[in-house]
Amino acid sequence: MTEPTHEQVDQLTRAFERFTRRFKVAESAAAADNALNALDAEALVFVGDNPGCGVGEVARYLNVAMTTMSSAVDRLTRRRLIERRRTEDDRRSLALTVTDKGRQAIDDHIAAYRELCRVMLRSLDPREQAELIRLTEKIAGS
Amino acid sequence: MTEPTHEQVDQLTRAFERFTRRFKVAESAAAADNALNALDAEALVFVGDNPGCGVGEVARYLNVAMTTMSSAVDRLTRRRLIERRRTEDDRRSLALTVTDKGRQAIDDHIAAYRELCRVMLRSLDPREQAELIRLTEKIAGS
DNA sequence: TCAAAATAGTACGAACTTCGTAGTATTCAA
DNA sequence: TTGAATACTACGAAGTTCGTACTATTTTGA
């Protein structure tokens, strides 16, 4: 809760700009032809983590309009990455689940993300690696 | 250059997911109505840092097609954030500069980014703040 | 020197994404 | 039992990216 100095904020801002640029370039280079757009990828991961969830749940979680998520689910369904099924208890809603192909896509997605994290950590020595993890967790958690 | 453990990569991956989510939500909440899209904002900042640059330079820097940048420059020009002028020495190319209104928009953009960095730092105590800055610089730079 | 190639940029249209409006089907509530 | 609420989709408007084809200008090399 200690207020950082103006100078520190400035340093971190500049460092983050370079940081972001470095890994954005790496990411766009890795993007395959059959890659999903950002929303579809996030929706797919959410469905993987929450099997049986509905379209509205995903929309609320990702902060997009219901119709936008309906479109995304449609794209994912057409590509056979997820499946829609009417539920017994509420026949208005759909239960979304990932297919085997969808699970594979998620694994690939996570692998790419992990690789990015691995590259970051490799720039540091062991003590710093542990410290970066700790600090990131602290910031993310509070 | 020390290879991180599988477990460490995993920890950082999870921490970054929460980290990203936390600050993405904050960002989308702050997005005003007149906000620029990501590409236009980045192009505007680049022109601010490189007055007199051409459309192609911005396109190459941001890794987008020339026609895409042409559209972005068109939008920024229509909104009176930048100006296009033919140069004397090469009359094919345009010299881009930001207007006063564009400078103001850049300042606002940077202020929002700095605020994000400030919020991150505030979660940490003074020693950790300095350490986060150092580690970020180290990763960004290598 | 001068024609061909290269360069800087734009016009246009196709493909895609987001989202608001209006609709269907179903469930809940009084 | 009927009217409101809920889950979702169809459709169309507006916006973005990018490839192709174009204009204008500069560079190159025979």
> Are B11 and A132 in contact (CB < 8 Å)?
no
- pLDDT tens digits, one per residue of B7-20: 999 999 999 999 98
The pLDDT score that the predictor gives to residue A25 is 76
Query: Would B51 be classed as within a structural domain?
Result: yes
The pLDDT score that the predictor gives to residue B136 is 97
- The one-character DSSP state at A5 is P
- Boundaries of domain holding B120: 33-141
d(CA B119, CA B122): 5
CATH number at residue A132: 1.10.10.10
Q: In this complex, how many residue pairs, one in chain A and one in chain B, have their CB atoms less than 8 Å apart? A: 127
B31-45: average pLDDT: 89
The pLDDT score that the predictor gives to residue A34 is 78
The pLDDT score that the predictor gives to residue B34 is 78
What's the whole-number average pLDDT of chain B? 94
The pLDDT score that the predictor gives to residue B132 is 97
- pLDDT tens digits, one per residue of A10-64: 999 999 999 988 888 777 777 776 789 999 999 999 999 999 999 999 999 999 9
Query: Would A14 be classed as within a structural domain?
Result: no
Decide: CB of A37 under 7 A of nucleic strand C.
yes
Query: Would A68 be classed as within a structural domain?
Result: yes
Q: Which residue of A has its CA nearest to B110?
A: A13
Please determine, for residue A5, whether its predicted confidence score (pLDDT) is greater than 90.
Answer: yes
Query: Would A19 be classed as within a structural domain?
Result: no
The pLDDT score that the predictor gives to residue A30 is 74
Query: Would A18 be classed as within a structural domain?
Result: no
pLDDT band, very low/low/confident/very high, at B28 (cuts 50, 70, 90): confident
Is the Cβ–Cβ distance between A98 and A44 less than 8 Å? Answer: yes
The pLDDT score that the predictor gives to residue A104 is 97
Query: Would A27 be classed as within a structural domain?
Result: no
> Are A8 and B120 in contact (CB < 8 Å)?
no
Q: Is the pTM of this model over 0.85?
A: yes
Decide if B131 touches A, using CB distance below 8 A: yes
pLDDT band, very low/low/confident/very high, at A2 (cuts 50, 70, 90): confident
* 11-50 of A, contacting B, C-beta below 8 A: 11-13, 15-19, 22, 25, 28
Tally of domains in chain A: 1
The pLDDT score that the predictor gives to residue B59 is 98
Burial call B63-84: b when 16+ CB within 10 Å, e when fewer: ebeeeebeebbeebbebebbee
Please determine, for residue A69, whether its predicted confidence score (pLDDT) is greater than 90.
Answer: yes
Query: Would A10 be classed as within a structural domain?
Result: no
Please determine, for residue A72, whether its predicted confidence score (pLDDT) is greater than 90.
Answer: yes
> Are B124 and A2 in contact (CB < 8 Å)?
yes
- pLDDT tens digits, one per residue of B81-127: 999 999 999 999 999 999 999 999 999 999 999 999 999 999 999 99
Query: Would B26 be classed as within a structural domain?
Result: no
Please determine, for residue A1, whether its predicted confidence score (pLDDT) is greater than 80.
Answer: no
- The one-character DSSP state at B7 is H
> Are A1 and B122 in contact (CB < 8 Å)?
yes
Q: What is the DSSP string of B13-41?
A: HHHHHHHHHHHHHHHHHH--TTPPPHHHH
Q: Which of A96, A85, A103 is nearest to A56 (CA)?
A: A96
The pLDDT score that the predictor gives to residue A28 is 75
